[in-house]
Structure 1
C-alpha cells in the first residue's frame, strides 16, 4: 500500500523533527562518569570566585592557552555563570568564553553540567576539594577531561604532586596532563 504524497511528507517531517529533538536532547543529557564521585556537602557560595588552572588534560578549546582561569558566580535562578579566560601566546591576545552551569540534582553534590554552546552540555564534577576551598580536582563527562584548580597561581610542589597522585588514583592518565603556565 502506498501512502499519498501529502501523508508521506507529514510523516517525513514529523520524523525529521523527532530526530532533531532527540539529537538536541542528547546534547543536554549529562551524567557523572562511572567511578567518579562528586564532592558531597558542597557549598556553591564558597566555590564562587576565581580559580586558576594549574594542570589539565589539553583539548582543542584550550589548546595553546596559558594563564587560564575560571570565574564562577551564582545567578538568581541557582545556575552558575562561568567565565573562562586564557592567554593565546601565538596571537598575543586573551581569549574568553562565557557559559552557564546547572546542578544535575541536589546542589550539595558537586555534579554539574556546563554549556558554552547553546543546548550542548559537558560534565563538571568536583571530585576533590580541600576544606578551605583553595584547591579542587575537576573531572568532566569522562576522565578524558580533567582540571586541577587553585585559588592561587602557584602552590607548593609537594601539594601539587599529592593532588596529581590523587587524580591518578581517580583514573586520570597523568601522561596526558600538562602543567599550565600562570606567570
Structure 2
C-alpha cells in the first residue's frame, strides 16, 4: 500500500501557494495597449517580437483581446490572435478566464499593477506562463529588475523567462 501512496504523491507534484492578485482593477483604466516586455511564453509566442496585447471592454462585460507580434524577428510576418477575456466575479476584476478556444478558459491573474497602470505582471497558479507588460515598448533596467524579482518571488523558473525585443 505504501508504494501506491508514493506513486499518488509523486503524481500530485509539489503543491504551490496560490498567487495573490491585486485587490482591485479599474477595468476601463486597464484597457488599451500593453507591450510584452518579457514572458515565459506559450507555444504560440516563443518567437515573438514587437508583442502587444490590447484590451477593449465590451458592453457585455467581456474583454475583446488582440494579441499581435512579429514571428521570428523584428520584421517577421505579423501574427494576430483574438482571445476573449472573462472577468471572474468577486475577484476585484483581477482574475480572468482567457478563452482562445471554446470552451477552455485559461487562468489569467493580475499579480502586480502599478498605481499609474503603466506596468503589470500577469501570472498563473501553475507557474507555467507569465507576462511582464508595460504601456511602453521599453522600461528602465531598474524597473525590469524589480518586475523580474517579483516574478522570481512568485515561484517561477527564471531560466525560462524571455525578454521580448521591440523596435517601436
1:25-78 deviation per Cα after TM superposition (whole angstroms, max 9, x unaligned):
xxxxxxxx8420111121111100000000000221112111111000001010
The structural deviation recorded for 1:92 is 2.7
Q: Which residue in the other structure is 1:7 paired with?
A: none
Answer yes or no: is the 8 Å Cα contact 2:18–2:125 preserved in 1: no
User: What TM-score does the superposition give when structure 1 sets the normalisation length?
Assistant: 0.78
Paired residues for 1:51-70 under 5 Å: 51-70=34-53
Q: 2:33 aligns with which of 34, 44, 50?
A: 50
Q: Which residue in the other structure is 1:174 paired with?
A: 158
Answer yes or no: is the 8 Å Cα contact 1:44–1:108 preserved in 2: no
Distance in 1 of aligned mates of 2:119 and 2:27:
14
Which has more radius of gyration?
1
Structure 1 ranges of 4+ moved more than 4 A: none
1:72 and 2:74 correspond: no
The structural deviation recorded for 1:117 is 1.1
Answer yes or no: is the 8 Å Cα contact 2:51–2:166 preserved in 1: yes
| Secondary structure at 1:128 match in 2 | strand
| Secondary structure at 1:61 match in 2 | helix
Q: CA RMSD in A?
A: 1.6
Q: Which residue in the other structure is 2:23 paired with?
A: 40
Distance in 2 of aligned mates of 1:35 and 1:120:
20
Distance in 1 of aligned mates of 2:90 and 2:32:
21
Q: Which residue in the other structure is 2:114 paired with?
A: 130
Structure 1: gaps of 5 or more residues: 1-32
Distance in 1 of aligned mates of 2:149 and 2:163:
14
Aligned residues: 151
| Secondary structure at 1:86 match in 2 | strand
Answer yes or no: is the 8 Å Cα contact 1:42–1:107 preserved in 2: no
1:82 and 2:79 correspond: no
Structure 2: gaps of 5 or more residues: 1-15
Q: Which residue in the other structure is 1:96 paired with?
A: 80
